[in-house]
Amino acid sequence: MAVGTEPAPTRRWTERTLVPTPPAPPAGPVEPKGNPAPLGHVSLPVAISRLNHAVLYVRDVERSTAFYRDVLGFTVKIAFPGAAFLQAGASTNDHDLGIFQVGSSAEASRAGRGAVGLYHLAWEVPTLGELAELAGRLFDAGALVGASNHGTTKSLYAQDPDGLEFEVVWLIPAHLLTAADSEAGASITPLDLDAEIARFGAHSRGGLGISVPLGVRVDPLPAGLAVGSG
């Protein structure tokens, strides 16, 4: 390497683009940069409404895509070598899941086994009938690892081809929720899907008034303030 030159930066996948790996942080204390400049002089409340999407690192993007598509019913919205963006079956979101390939030699996640990290994602289904259908699909795929009754929620637990755990959940709608259901959340019991379907029906829409807001109102921005204005 010629004197005075530096090695080309390695590159890695990110959700944004292929970007150079950032340089190592400087040694010693770093002076704080201060607070970001306010948005003009208007103070706006901040309220995150929901988790929009998740992104996973996997060994084989084609294998993972096939699992989420064929077992869980996701639709592939965009795919290119090493990455795919998927939309859940009942979703109108741009995409709900991003998958990025890191290679077959990648180690399994150690999150929860001596390392911090994400435990699981939870995917919601509209009806108990669909939860029962997915229980069969996940069992047939060898992915189902558990099923729990949390009182207000009825959950399946499974692992994708890389062992990344996820939950599939149905929520009791607000108008059917009882005090006993809420109190039952203090303990976890095995899920009896047949009994839950006998109580609520296979086609009752879950989550109404809980995860699915009723009577949602969208307030306009304050007068004179437009998105992007300073």
State residue 45's pLDDT score: 87
State residue 37's pLDDT score: 55
E-strand ranges in 50-182 read: 54-58, 75-80, 83-87, 97-101, 121-124, 144-149, 153-159, 165-171
Please report, in tens digits, the pLDDT of each residue of the chain (230 residues total).
Answer: 444 444 443 344 444 544 444 555 555 555 556 666 555 566 788 889 889 999 999 999 999 999 999 999 999 999 999 999 999 999 999 999 999 999 999 999 999 999 999 999 999 999 999 999 999 999 999 999 999 999 999 999 999 999 999 999 999 999 999 999 999 999 999 999 999 999 999 999 999 999 988 875 545 545 544 444 33
Closest by CA position to 157, among listed 173, 139, 175, 172: 139
Who's near 60: CB < 8 A, 6+ residues apart? Answer: 101, 104, 161
State residue 219's pLDDT score: 53
Element (DSSP H or E) covering residue 69: helix 61-70
DSSP annotation string for 144-172: EEEEEE-SSEEEEEEE-TT--EEEEEEE-
Q: Which domains does the chain have, with CATH numbers?
A: 51-104 (3.10.180.10), 118-214 (3.10.180)
- Residue 182's alpha-carbon distances to 112, 128, 173, 179, 188, in angstroms, are 27, 18, 12, 5, 12
